[in-house]
């Protein structure tokens, strides 16, 4: 079985530092079930590729199984696909051979290990029990460009159809540690099997490697079920722990963390009200009929849009926190306690992350992103951009974010201080414009900027708003 990792980061040979292996050597690593061989078939300043070949000993596998069970192994255990396919054996090899890269550490290139770099990962002969659709459903929401090559069951007998084995190429700009985490978790999910006993400790391993991205994955339940060999008790326990993790104030962010402090700062200038009014006015001016509020929080914007209606036919809110969505359901009368008027526009609430590709976000006239992106770690902005502007591609995006220059006008804030304890950054007007112009250049949008709140002649308005509209003949219909 074969795994390759390539990069075009300059100098590309820094990949050797990230994986802890020298590009000029071929190395062998003994494993309980065979050996792993690591080599660099290509290593230049422009492109570097590391290959890990896993050589399994099928006889030793059966001997080990017999020792564990103390019984005679049937012949079928000697004849199987395990020595040839990328399965849970490859996941274990990643932990044993690429452990430092998986943990995100590098003594010589610590800063690079924390940086997103262009990566291409190939996996040969992956048993995909669910076909190409499953491969895409697992990896595309995470921001990967996915190429899948299917193999015929037999090249001489086309009527036999395709085999369950595929070659996969994954392309992304991401931290190497994150990519290895996701491959480690998802390979056994594709195979729908693991070669070792799965017990309670497997939940800890799953959450340790996938907790911060798995919680909001659109296929979370299926991933957890397969990863735990469909054991109901383990699956329910893992899902409960993921739900608790989802509700914790972490880098996935729960916007309620520190919200009271921010509201106190902004209340004297009625900023929240003026911000909502400005966004609703833009939605109306764009003539939108379908709107999604990405990072909808407790549903304040959704409630305003539903009250105004103005020709809307579909209104959807998405948030990463199930706890916040519960509060939004109560606010909107969707929980049965206070039913909305029969004439009210129905509102859909969905659980998901704004940094994952999600087909449920496709096809909207307008996407609203109100005071959301500043809660993301800067290195996640590329994933957000990809999920919204490249994959979902709404007709327009109305996005607001704080103007850090204005913070000196708030009582109790000094230059450089953020308004909200969970903000990962706040942009100047120039930084915001630079980012927005880049988004347009990369994804075929125009952008128009507008202030929200009173404009100070020195530091601008308290909130910055950008309205992105698609170009190249695309219009809102």
Q: Are residues 75 and 183 in the same domain?
A: yes
pLDDT score at 465 = 97
The confidence score (pLDDT) of residue 199 equals: 85
Judge whether residue 377 has pLDDT over 90. no
In this predicted model, what pLDDT tens digit does every residue of 125-139 receive, in sequence order?
Answer: 999 888 899 999 999
50, β-bridge pairs: 5
Output the pLDDT for position 219.
87
Q: Which carries the bigger pLDDT value, residue 200 or residue 394?
A: 394
Q: What is the pLDDT of residue 40?
A: 97
Mark whether 28 and 176 lie in a shared domain.
yes
Identify the CATH number of the domain in which residue 183 sits: 3.30.1610.20
Domain annotation covers residue 266: yes
**192 and 265 assigned to the same domain:** no
Give the residue, 475 or 212, on which the prediction is more confident: 212
Is residue 178, in this structure, part of any structural domain at all?
yes
Q: Are residues 192 and 278 in the same domain?
A: no
Q: Is residue 444 in a domain? A: yes
The pLDDT, as a whole number, for residue 343 is: 55
pLDDT at 87 > cutoff 80: yes
Task: Answer whether residue 32 is part of any domain.
Answer: yes
**Is 401 part of any domain?**
yes
In a domain, 204, yes or no: no
Q: Are residues 273 and 187 in the same domain?
A: no
| Model confidence pLDDT, tens digit, residues 300-310 | 999 999 886 56
Per the domain annotation, does 9 fall within a domain?
yes
Q: What is the mean pLDDT of the chain?
A: 85
Output the six-digit token pair for 60.
């030793």
Across the range 274-302, mean pLDDT stands at: 94
Q: What is the pLDDT of residue 309?
A: 59
> At residue 414, does pLDDT exceed 80?
no
Q: What is the pLDDT of residue 245?
A: 58
Same domain, 172 and 275: no
Highest mean pLDDT among 36-45, 104-113, 127-136: 36-45
332 and 460 in a single domain? The answer is yes
Do residues 269 and 169 both lie within one domain?
no
Domain boundary (196, 218, 234) is at: 196
Domain range for 360 is 259-470
* CATH code for the domain of 285: 3.40.50.150
Statement: residue 246 has pLDDT above 70:
no
pLDDT at position 406 is 92
Tell which wins on pLDDT, 157 or 389.
389
pLDDT of residue 75: 47
Q: Which of the listed residues 156, 172, 196 is the one where a domain comes to its end?
A: 196
Judged against a pLDDT cut of 70, whether residue 68 lies above it is answered with no
- What tens digit of pLDDT does each residue of 253-270 get? 444 444 444 455 455 556
Same domain assignment for residues 354 and 445: yes
44 and 148 belong to one structural domain: yes
Boundary (domain end) residue, out of 164, 196, 228: 196
150-198 confidence digits (pLDDT tens): 888 888 888 888 888 899 999 999 999 999 999 999 999 998 888 777 8
Checking if the pLDDT of 444 tops 50, the result is yes
pTM beyond 0.95, yes or no: no
pLDDT value at residue 422: 77
Q: What is the pLDDT of residues 315-354, one digit of tens each?
A: 999 998 878 888 899 888 886 555 555 556 889 999 888 8
Which H, E and C letters describe the chain, residue by residue? CEEEEEECCCCHHHHHHHHCCCCCCCEEEEECCEEEEEEEEEECCCCEEEEEEEEECHHHHHHHHHHHHCCCCCHHHCCCCCCCCCCHHHHHHHHHHCHHHHHCCCCCCHHHHCCCEEEEEEEEEEECCCHHHHHHHHHHHHCCEEEEEEEECCCCCHHHCEEEEEEEEEEEEECHHHHHHHHHHHHHHHHCCCCCCCCCHHHHHHHHHHHHHHCCCCCHHHHHHHHCCCCHHHHHHHHHHHHHHHHCCCCCCCCCCCHHHHHHHHHHHCHHHHHHHHHHHHHHHCCCCEEEEECCCCCHHHHHHHHHCCCCCEEEEEECCHHHHHHHHHHCCCCCCCCCCCCCCCEEEEECCCCCCCHHHCCCCEEEEECCHHHCCHHHHHHHHHHHHHHHCCCEEEEEEEEHHHHHHCCCCCCCCCCCCCCCCCECHHHHHHHHHHHHHHHCEEEEEEEECCCECCCECCEEEEEEEECCCCCCC
Mean pLDDT value across residues 19-43: 93
Instruction: State pLDDT tens for residues 454-473.
Output: 999 999 999 999 999 998 65
The Cα 477–Cα 469 span in angstroms is 12
What's the confidence (pLDDT) of residue 336?
58
Residue 375 inside a domain? The answer is: yes
Q: Is 275 found in the same domain as 160? A: no
Which of 223-232, 241-250, 440-449 is predicted with the least confidence, judged by mean pLDDT?
Answer: 241-250
How many domains does the structure of the chain reveal? 2
| One domain, residues 173 and 268 | no
């Amino acid at each position: 079985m074969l795994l390759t990792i390539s990069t075009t980061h300059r100098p590309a040979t820094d990949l050797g530092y990230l994986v802890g292996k020298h590009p000029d050597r071929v190395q062998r690593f003994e494993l309980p079930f065979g050996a792993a061989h690591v080599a660099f078939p290509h290593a230049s300043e422009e492109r570097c590729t590391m290959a890990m070949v896993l050589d399994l000993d099928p006889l030793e596998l059966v001997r080990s199984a017999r020792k564990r069970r103390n019984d005679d192994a049937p012949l079928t255990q000697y004849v199987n696909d395990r020595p040839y396919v990328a399965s849970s054996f490859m996941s274990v090899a990643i932990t044993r051979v690429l452990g430092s890269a998986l943990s995100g550490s590098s003594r010589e290139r610590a800063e690079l290990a924390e940086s997103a770099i262009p990566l291409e990962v190939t996996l040969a002969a992956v048993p995909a029990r669910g076909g190409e659709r499953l491969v895409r459903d697992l990896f595309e929401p995470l921001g990967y460009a996915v190429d899948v090559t299917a193999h015929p069951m037999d090249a001489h007998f086309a009527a036999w159809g395709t085999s369950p084995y595929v070659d996969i190429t994954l392309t992304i700009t991401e931290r190497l540690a994150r990519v290895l985490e996701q491959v480690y978790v998802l390979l056994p999910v594709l195979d729908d099997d693991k070669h070792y006993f799965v017990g309670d400790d497997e939940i800890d391993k799953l959450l340790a490697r996938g907790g911060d991205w798995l919680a909001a994955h659109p296929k979370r339940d299926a991933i957890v079920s397969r990863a735990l060999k469909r054991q109901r008790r383990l699956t329910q326990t893992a899902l409960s722990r993921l739900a608790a993790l989802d509700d914790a104030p972490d880098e996935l962010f729960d916007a309620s963390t520190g919200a009271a402090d921010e509201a106190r700062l902004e209340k004297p200038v009625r900023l929240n009200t003026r911000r909502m009014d400005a966004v609703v006015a833009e939605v109306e001016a764009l003539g939108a009929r379908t709107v999604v509020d990405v990072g909808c929080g407790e549903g304040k914007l959704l409630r305003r849009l539903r009250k105004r209606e103005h020709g809307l036919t579909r209104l959807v809110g998405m948030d990463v926190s199930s706890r916040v969505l519960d509060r939004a359901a109560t606010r909107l009368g969707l929980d049965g306690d206070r039913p909305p008027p029969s004439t009210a526009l129905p509102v859909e609430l969905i659980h998901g992350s704004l940094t994952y590709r999600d087909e449920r976000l496709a096809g909207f006239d307008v996407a609203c992103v109100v005071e959301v992106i500043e809660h993301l770690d800067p290195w996640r902005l590329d994933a957000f951009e990809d999920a919204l502007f490249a994959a979902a591609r709404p007709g327009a995006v109305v996005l607001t974010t704080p103007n850090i220059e204005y913070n000196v006008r708030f009582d109790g804030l000094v230059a450089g201080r953020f308004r909200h304890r969970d903000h990962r950054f706040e942009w100047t007007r120039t930084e915001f414009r630079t980012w927005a112009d880049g988004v347009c250049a990369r994804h075929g949008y125009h952008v128009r900027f507008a202030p929200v709140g009173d404009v100070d002649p020195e530091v601008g308005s308290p909130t910055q708003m950008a309205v992105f509209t698609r170009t190249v003949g695309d219009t809102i219909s």
